[in-house]
Amino acid sequence: MCVVSTKYRSYVESLTTAQRDALGTLSARVLTNVRPLYEVSGDISSFIFAGGETSHPDWDDATTVFEAAVEQLLLQPDVPPIAGELPLLFVGWHSKNRVTGKRASLGFLLTDRRLHAQCDFGVLFGVTPPRTYSYPIGSGDPDGDSAALVDAANARFDWTPAAELVSLAQQAAIKRLLVDEIADITGAVTRLGIEM
């Protein structure tokens, strides 16, 4: 059973009609791009949560996982979303803090404008805000720009706590997925004339 996130749902409802249309268009692109990864053996499908996904191959609660990641990495007061920012893809996992018992979304959230990266729980009574990396839109080299952006995010991402969960090969595959999706998203935003 899927639990609908009120905070996430309220955010989507606060978007303009044009922004919701853009969210639908970009989410459909992302889903089309990630679905082939669901069929690869030993893959990263269990770490991929796309907005609008209704039939995830590994998790019945994929919608809940995606919405929780959006709430924890995008909809927080320390690093608020840019007006109209569209959450599209979460690549990561949930982990339980042994001290507080709370679950945290750890990994990467892609929107139409930025990459949000979270690799730790934070302090005991607070949340460490995710690192954010803005996409270079319209630079003429989306593949090169995306690779540089993901390299910067990956260099500051601490994979150590997830070493037993995410193999080195899976880390490399996640990095490739992020590069490909950011290049596709930035290209689509430009080609489709989606307002930023």
pTM of the predicted model as reported, rounded to 2 decimal places: 0.91
pLDDT tens digits, 116-144: 999 876 655 566 788 899 987 666 777 88
Bridge partners for 50 per DSSP: 89
- Written as six digits, the tokens of 132 are 């954010």
Q: What is the pLDDT of residue 183?
A: 92
* CA-to-CA dists, residue 79 to 22, 75, 82, 120, angstroms: 22, 8, 9, 16
- Treating both helix axes as pointing N-terminal to C-terminal, what angle do 62-73 and 6-14 enclose, rounded to 10 degrees? 70
Q: What is the pLDDT of residue 196?
A: 62
Q: What is the pLDDT of residue 194?
A: 77
Please give the order of strands across the beta sheet that includes 131-134. 48-50, 87-96, 103-111, 114-118, 131-134
Spatial distance between the Cα atoms of 70 and 56, rounded to a whole number of angstroms: 17
- The DSSP annotation for 144-193 comes to HHHHHHHHHHHHT---GGGTTTS-HHHHHHHHHHHHHHHHHHHHHHHHHT
Regions of the chain where pLDDT drops below 50 = 1-2
User: Are residues 181 and 33 in contact, defined by beta-carbon separation less than 8 angstroms?
Assistant: yes
Phi, psi (rounded to 5 degrees) for 104: -125, 145
Q: What is the pLDDT of residue 1?
A: 40
Q: What is the pLDDT of residue 152?
A: 93
* CA-to-CA dists, residue 62 to 2, 12, 45, 56, angstroms: 8, 18, 11, 6
Half-sphere exposure of 146 (CA within 13 A, CB side): 21
